[in-house]
Amino acid sequence: MPDGSRQEEKNWAARPFDAQRVERLIQQTAPLGPRLSPLLAQLFLGRGITDPKDVAAALSAPNLSTGLRPPEQLPGCVEAAEKILAAIRAEKRIAVYGDYDVDGMTATAILVEAITLAGGSAKYYVPNRLDEGYGLNCDALDRLSHEGIGMVITVDCGISSLKEALHARQIGLDLVITDHHTILTDPETGKQILPDAAAITHPRLLLDGVPPYPFPELCGAVVAFKLAWALERAAEGTSRVSAEKRRFLIKAVGLAALGTVADVVPLWDENRTLVRFALEKSFGAVFPSESSDAAESYVPIGLCALVAESGIASRARKKITSEDIGFSIAPRLNAAGREVLCESSPKDEIDEQNWKAAKALLEHPDRLAAAGQMGLASLGVELLVTQSAERAGELAHFINNLNESRQKLERKIMHEALEQIKASWQDAPAFVLASAFWHPGVIGIVAGRLAEQFNRPTVMISLQNRDPGTGSGRGIPDSDFNLYNAFEACKEHLTRFGGHAAAAGLGIRSDKIDAFRSAFCDYVAEHYHDTGSKTLLRVDGEFPLSAFTNKTLAEIDALAPFGADNTRPVFVSYGVTLSAPARRVGGKNRKPSGSTSAGNAPDTAAGAKNTESTDTLGRTFQAKFRQWRDERRAVAFGRGDWVDEMNALYAANAAAAFDIAFQVVYNDYFGQVELRLLDWRTSTSTTPEASYVR
Query: Given the complex with Mn ion, which of 144 and 256 has the nearer CB atom?
Result: 256
**Residues in contact with Mn ion, shown as a per-residue x/- string from 151 to 170 under the rule CB under 5 A:** -----x--------------
Smallest distance, Å, CB 502 to Mn ion?
12
Query: Given the complex with Mn ion, which of 103 and 270 has the nearer CB atom?
Result: 103
Report the distance separating Cα 63 and Cα 66, nearest Å.
Answer: 6
Stated as kind and residue range, the H or E segment containing 390 is helix 389-420
Query: Given the complex with Mn ion, which of 203 and 220 has the nearer CB atom?
Result: 220
Report the distance separating Cα 444 and Cα 460, nearest Å.
Answer: 7
In the chain, the largest separation of any two C-alpha atoms, in whole Å, equals: 81
Smallest distance, Å, CB 566 to Mn ion?
19
Give the CA count within 13 Å in the CB-facing half-sphere of 124: 32
DSSP secondary-structure letter at 137?
Answer: -
- My answer on whether omega of the bond before 300 falls inside 30° of 0, hence cis, is no
Q: Which residue is nearest to Mn ion (CB)?
A: 103
User: What distances in angstroms separate CA 299 from CA 252, 283, 284, one per listed residue?
Assistant: 9, 6, 8
Query: Given the complex with Mn ion, which of 499 and 638 has the nearer CB atom?
Result: 499
Smallest distance, Å, CB 156 to Mn ion?
4
Q: DSSP 3-state assignment of 627?
A: strand
- Provide the Cα torsion 65, 68, 70, 74; round to 10°: 180
Smallest distance, Å, CB 462 to Mn ion?
21
Query: Given the complex with Mn ion, which of 129 and 167 has the nearer CB atom?
Result: 129
User: In terms of DSSP bridges, do strands 174-178 and 199-201 run parallel, antiparallel, or are they unpaired?
Assistant: parallel
54 closest CA partner among 668, 559, 406: 559
- N-term to C-term CA, the chain: 34
Give the CA count within 13 Å in the CB-facing half-sphere of 449: 23
Quick one: which segment of 12-20, 58-66, 97-105, 409-417 binds Mn ion (CB under 5 A)? Answer: 97-105
Query: Given the complex with Mn ion, which of 103 and 132 has the nearer CB atom?
Result: 103
**Number of other residues whose CB lies within 10 A of the CB of residue 589:** 13
Among 36, 71, 103, 497, binds Mn ion (CB under 5 A): 103
Quick one: which segment of 40-48, 87-95, 118-126, 150-158 binds Mn ion (CB under 5 A)? Answer: 150-158
Q: Which of residues 567-586 bind Mn ion (CB under 5 A)?
A: none
Query: Given the complex with Mn ion, which of 156 and 603 has the nearer CB atom?
Result: 156
Amino acid letter, 161? S
Stated as kind and residue range, the H or E segment containing 65 is helix 64-67
**Residues in contact with Mn ion, shown as a per-residue x/- string from 10 to 49 under the rule CB under 5 A:** ----------------------------------------
**Number of other residues whose CB lies within 10 A of the CB of residue 208:** 4
Smallest distance, Å, CB 221 to Mn ion?
8
Smallest distance, Å, CB 87 to Mn ion?
24
Report the distance separating Cα 563 and Cα 274, nearest Å.
Answer: 13
Quick one: which segment of 100-108, 366-374, 387-395, 443-451 binds Mn ion (CB under 5 A)? Answer: 100-108
Smallest distance, Å, CB 263 to Mn ion?
5
Say whether residue 607 binds Mn ion (CB under 5 A): no
Report the distance separating Cα 451 and Cα 610, nearest Å.
Answer: 11
Quick one: which segment of 58-66, 98-106, 565-573, 620-628 binds Mn ion (CB under 5 A)? Answer: 98-106
Amino acid letter, 404? E
Query: Given the complex with Mn ion, which of 220 and 393 has the nearer CB atom?
Result: 220
Quick one: which segment of 103-111, 365-373, 428-436, 437-445 binds Mn ion (CB under 5 A)? Answer: 103-111
Say whether residue 203 binds Mn ion (CB under 5 A): no
Smallest distance, Å, CB 120 to Mn ion?
24
**Number of other residues whose CB lies within 10 A of the CB of residue 353:** 12
Smallest distance, Å, CB 498 to Mn ion?
11
**Residues in contact with Mn ion, shown as a per-residue x/- string from 624 to 653 under the rule CB under 5 A:** ------------------------------
Smallest distance, Å, CB 325 to Mn ion?
15
Query: Given the complex with Mn ion, which of 220 and 331 has the nearer CB atom?
Result: 220
Query: Given the complex with Mn ion, which of 221 and 358 has the nearer CB atom?
Result: 221
Smallest distance, Å, CB 519 to Mn ion?
27
Give the CA count within 13 Å in the CB-facing half-sphere of 522: 8
**Residues in contact with Mn ion, shown as a per-residue x/- string from 288 to 327 under the rule CB under 5 A:** ----------------------------------------
Quick one: which segment of 203-211, 212-220, 295-303, 404-412 binds Mn ion (CB under 5 A)? Answer: 212-220
Quick one: which segment of 99-107, 313-321, 480-488, 620-628 binds Mn ion (CB under 5 A)? Answer: 99-107
Quick one: which segment of 72-80, 90-98, 148-156, 589-597 binds Mn ion (CB under 5 A)? Answer: 148-156
Query: Given the complex with Mn ion, which of 334 and 622 has the nearer CB atom?
Result: 334
Site size toward Mn ion, by CB under 5 A: 4
Say whether residue 220 binds Mn ion (CB under 5 A): yes
Q: Which of residues 252-271 bind Mn ion (CB under 5 A)?
A: 263
DSSP secondary-structure letter at 491?
Answer: G
Report the distance separating Cα 130 and Cα 114, nearest Å.
Answer: 29
Residues facing 664 on adjacent strands: 675
Smallest distance, Å, CB 271 to Mn ion?
13
Smallest distance, Å, CB 164 to Mn ion?
18
Query: Given the complex with Mn ion, which of 233 and 500 has the nearer CB atom?
Result: 500
Report the distance separating Cα 510 and Cα 497, nearest Å.
Answer: 15
199 closest CA partner among 87, 69, 104: 87
Report the distance separating Cα 39 and Cα 543, nearest Å.
Answer: 9
Report the distance separating Cα 561 and Cα 257, nearest Å.
Answer: 11
Report the distance separating Cα 5 and Cα 190, nearest Å.
Answer: 55
Query: Given the complex with Mn ion, which of 227 and 361 has the nearer CB atom?
Result: 227
**Residues in contact with Mn ion, shown as a per-residue x/- string from 488 to 527 under the rule CB under 5 A:** ----------------------------------------
Contacts of 144 (CB under 8 A, 6+ apart): 95, 97, 125, 152, 173, 371, 372
Answer for the pair 62, 276: CB distance below 8 angstroms, yes or no: yes
Query: Given the complex with Mn ion, which of 132 and 394 has the nearer CB atom?
Result: 132
Quick one: which segment of 218-226, 281-289, 335-343, 464-472 binds Mn ion (CB under 5 A)? Answer: 218-226
Report the distance separating Cα 130 and Cα 128, nearest Å.
Answer: 6
Answer for the pair 177, 158: CB distance below 8 angstroms, yes or no: yes
Answer for the pair 373, 362: CB distance below 8 angstroms, yes or no: no
Query: Given the complex with Mn ion, which of 266 and 429 has the nearer CB atom?
Result: 266
Q: DSSP 3-state assignment of 466?
A: coil
Q: DSSP assignment of 312-371, as one string?
A: GGGSS-S---HHHIIIIIHHHHHHHHTT---TTS---HHHHHHHHHHHHHHT-TTSPP-S
Query: Given the complex with Mn ion, which of 263 and 323 has the nearer CB atom?
Result: 263
Smallest distance, Å, CB 219 to Mn ion?
5
Interaction site with Mn ion (CB under 5 A)? 103, 156, 220, 263
